[in-house]
A and B are shown apart, each in its own frame.
Chain A
């Protein structure tokens, strides 16, 4: 009982203070700019308790944009390992979902981020509007962190 309460409390606190880090794995910058726009007045993700840090060792969430290029294929899993444990990955833009327009004959990119690291949410669109990003992030992430203790359990995560 006490354990359950403790878990709930942990989840509640985690879901109210989420720090994100944006990784551009070789996209065209369009998605990055739209994510940056989410943190300014008009869309203001910080009112939901989501903060922008860009330091992978301090963050809970990696937001991946862009197709995974040749140079990033080994670096992206490394970066993912550096994020401390309750962690989620959001792929923003059709590039990060599936390689997008660059993943066709002649292109030198891997598929989406999901081929290299586990991805929890995808926001398709090229680029998605800030509204769409805000909606996806606000709907998925707090629930994810609230339930994390119960579903994944501490320690033996993915």
Chain B
């Protein structure tokens, strides 16, 4: 046990521990939405026209290159000179330069996926309306002689399946596992980003 571990052991009350852990905290690495970041240059797309280097407001001086320097391989960004104005991204004719998240649309709201869904077989449904009566969340309605499920408000209680007089007209279809996993990963990522930006 090293000396610091020993100290940590003694001082392992909650607040003190947080202080000690703080140095390895990665909480601040995630940038919030809509912040103007350093430009990223996609050299694959670049046509080496030089427009970005012309537009850059940070010019060269003796000993220091401009923020966006044009070399024969393409534009090179010097981060210590860049002021993140975004002019280079505006002038690029092939949009090879992207600036942070400024030009992005708002992210769509991601909702947790449902593990299954209620499906109505239109051929078997007789349109009796019993399911409509038993549904606790008002999610199933008979429209033109066929029951239809509103997936948003359905809570998967299966009351309609019990009430249906025709066997097999209403079924519970589980979702594809892969699909489910993908949805959940996306949600967890978004949530983590939100927490980080706060």
Whether A and B touch (Cβ < 8 Å) is answered with yes
**A47 in contact with B22 (CB, 8 Å):** yes
Q: Interface size on B (CB < 8 Å)?
A: 28
Contacts of A112 in B (CB 8 A): 80
The answer to the question of B61 belonging to the interface, with a C-beta cut-off of 8 Å to chain A, is yes
For B60, give its contact among A97, A104, A122 (CB under 8 Å). A104
**A134 in contact with B80 (CB, 8 Å):** no
**B58 in contact with A104 (CB, 8 Å):** yes
Shortest distance between the CB of A101 and any CB in chain B (Å): 5
Could you tell me the distance between the alpha carbons of A126 and B38 in the complex, rounded to whole angstroms? 10
Query: Quick check: which of A4-12, A68-76, A79-87, A148-156 contacts chain B, the rest being far away?
Result: A4-12
Which chain B residues (37-51) contact chain A, with CB distance < 8 Å?
Answer: 38
Q: Interface size on A (CB < 8 Å)?
A: 33
The answer to the question of A129 belonging to the interface, with a C-beta cut-off of 8 Å to chain B, is yes
**B81 in contact with A48 (CB, 8 Å):** no
The answer to the question of B163 belonging to the interface, with a C-beta cut-off of 8 Å to chain A, is no
**B58 in contact with A100 (CB, 8 Å):** yes
Contacts of A134 in B (CB 8 A): 28
**B84 in contact with A9 (CB, 8 Å):** no
Could you tell me the distance between the alpha carbons of A49 and B22 in the complex, rounded to whole angstroms? 10
**B23 in contact with A103 (CB, 8 Å):** no
Shortest distance between the CB of A144 and any CB in chain B (Å): 11
**B82 in contact with A94 (CB, 8 Å):** yes
Shortest distance between the CB of B74 and any CB in chain A (Å): 21
Could you tell me the distance between the alpha carbons of A97 and B80 in the complex, rounded to whole angstroms? 6
**B60 in contact with A138 (CB, 8 Å):** no
Main secondary structure of the interface of A (DSSP, over half): helix
Contacts of A100 in B (CB 8 A): 58, 81, 83
The answer to the question of B25 belonging to the interface, with a C-beta cut-off of 8 Å to chain A, is yes
The answer to the question of B29 belonging to the interface, with a C-beta cut-off of 8 Å to chain A, is yes
Which chain A residues (1-28) contact chain B, with CB distance < 8 Å?
Answer: 5, 8-9, 12, 16
**A94 in contact with B64 (CB, 8 Å):** no
The answer to the question of B185 belonging to the interface, with a C-beta cut-off of 8 Å to chain A, is no
Supposing A47-B22, A138-B25 touch, asked if A129 and B35 sit within 8 A by C-beta, the answer is yes
**A124 in contact with B80 (CB, 8 Å):** yes
**B61 in contact with A99 (CB, 8 Å):** yes
The interface bits of chain B over 78-108 (1 if a CB of A lies within 8 angstroms of the residue's CB, else 0) are 1111111000000000000000000000000
**A126 in contact with B80 (CB, 8 Å):** no
**B28 in contact with A131 (CB, 8 Å):** yes
Contacts of B80 in A (CB 8 A): 94, 97-98, 112, 122, 124
Contacts of A55 in B (CB 8 A): none
Shortest distance between the CB of A63 and any CB in chain B (Å): 16
Shortest distance between the CB of A57 and any CB in chain B (Å): 27
- A-binding residues in B (CB < 8 A): 3-4, 7, 19, 22-23, 25, 28-29, 31-32, 35, 38, 57-61, 63-64, 66, 78-84
- B-binding residues in A (CB < 8 A): 5, 8-9, 12, 16, 47-49, 94, 97-101, 103-105, 107, 111-112, 122, 124-126, 129, 131-132, 134-135, 138-139, 142-143
A-B interface, 3 closest residue pairs, ranked by CB to CB distance from nearest = A126-B83, A104-B59, A97-B80
11 further A-B pairs in the complex, CB-CB below 8 A; given A100-B81, A139-B23 = A94-B83, A101-B58, A103-B61, A104-B59, A104-B60, A105-B61, A107-B61, A126-B82, A135-B28, A138-B28, A142-B23
